[in-house]
């Protein structure tokens, strides 16, 4: 087994893990082709950018461990990489809590990470209501049961977590977000993420204007009927 292919390394961030100063490790490759994705260079596993030395990343983390509060592993889709286990164990050995960002399409991998206590927080993207619209927003002909399994896993294992949906004009409307919130009823957190039109995988979406804040607030209030801690991000 090789080592985790790290495509980007941010030594400190105040926004990737709320309430913490975290380092951010970004891996390449994804099993979804979301048209609104703003990490298009990371979608393909053989992305042109060279991998960053794992040893170098671990060295920097060692040097900064006295003032970093955690490490975030994002992508792409981290759960496509079985090398993730060995790498997280090395990061854990330095004393860092781990947050992972995932699309939830690898429930078995996610379950193993949780059971082995290799992750402390999971942020799962919910692309759309759990119906045929999910195929459009994920860009693939997926099995929705795998998404449902991951949602149930996060809600029942005791892991700290959040669900989040990027609010894409022309692809999602208020009733879609409310339907998602209704499915997630009683969950810990549901974040409504403002759409960013920069560098989208589908170039035509780069011309979209994000929804105005008042529309996001209206949606937030409706979602709170189901998930009390629904917030705009």
Residue 159 in any domain: the answer is yes
Q: pLDDT tens-digit profile of 154-196?
A: 999 999 999 999 999 999 999 999 999 999 999 999 999 999 9
CATH number at residue 50: 3.20.20.70
- The answer to whether position 93 is within a domain reads yes
- Can you give the pLDDT at residue 39? 74
State the pLDDT at residue 67: 92
Whether 22 is covered by a domain: the verdict is yes
Does 223 fall in a domain?
Answer: no
- ∠ CA 31-196-147 to the nearest 5 degrees? 35
Q: What is the predicted pLDDT for the residue at 145?
A: 98
Q: Retrieve residue 65's tokens.
A: 């461990």
What is the residue-wise DSSP string for the chain? -----EEEEEEEESSSSTTS-EEEEEE---S---TT-S-HHHHSTT-SSPPBPHHHHHHHHHHHTTT--EEEEESS-GGG-TTHHHHHHHHHHTT--EEEEE-S--HHHHHHHHHTT--SEEEEE--S-SSTHHHHHHTS---HHHHHHHHHHHHHS--EEEEEEEE-TTT--HHHHHHHHHHTTT-S-EEEEEP--TT-SSGGGGGPPPPPHHHHHHHHHHHTTT-SSEEE-
Weakly modelled stretches of the chain, pLDDT under 70: 1, 40-49
Provide the pLDDT for residue 47. Answer: 52
Rounded distance between C-alpha atoms, residue 158 and residue 122, angstroms: 11
Alpha-carbon gap, residue 114 to 161, rounded angstroms: 11
185 in any annotated domain: no
Q: State how far the alpha carbon of 36 is from the alpha carbons of 103, 165, 168, 173, in Å.
A: 14, 12, 7, 15
Q: Is residue 30 part of a domain?
A: yes
pLDDT at 43: 66
* Domain annotation covers residue 19: yes
Could you tell me if residue 226 is inside a domain?
no
- Domain containing 101: what range? 6-171
Per the rule left: phi > 0, alpha: psi between -120 and 50, beta: everything else, 196 is beta
The answer to whether the CB of 79 falls within 8 A of the CB of 124 is no
pLDDT at site 48 = 52
Number of domains the chain is built from: 1
Closest CA to 78 of 139, 37, 122, 34: 122
């Amino acid at each position: 087994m090789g080592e985790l292919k790290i495509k980007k390394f941010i030594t400190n961030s105040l926004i990737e893990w709320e309430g913490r100063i975290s380092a951010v490790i970004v891996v390449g490759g994804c099993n979804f082709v979301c048209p609104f994705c703003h990490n298009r260079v990371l979608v393909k596993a053989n992305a042109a950018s060279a991998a960053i030395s794992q040893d170098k990343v671990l060295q920097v983390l060692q040097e900064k461990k006295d003032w970093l509060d955690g490490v975030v592993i994002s992508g792409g889709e981290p759960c496509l990489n079985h090398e993730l286990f060995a790498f997280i164990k090395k990061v854990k050995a330095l004393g860092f809590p781990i947050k992972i960002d995932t699309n939830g399409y690898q429930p078995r991998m996610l379950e193993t990470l949780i059971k082995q206590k290799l992750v402390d927080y999971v942020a799962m993207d919910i692309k759309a209501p759990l119906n045929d619209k999910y195929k459009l927003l994920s860009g693939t002909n997926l099995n929705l049961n795998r998404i449902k399994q991951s949602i149930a896993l996060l809600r029942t294992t005791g892991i700290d977590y959040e669900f989040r949906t990027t609010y894409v004009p022309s692809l999602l409307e208020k009733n879609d977000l409310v339907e998602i919130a209704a499915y997630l009823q009683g969950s810990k957190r549901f974040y409504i993420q403002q759409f960013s039109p920069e560098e989208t995988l589908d170039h035509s979406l780069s011309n979209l204007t994000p929804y105005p804040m008042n529309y996001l607030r209206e949606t937030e209030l409706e979602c709170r009927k189901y998930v009390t801690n629904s917030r705009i991000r």
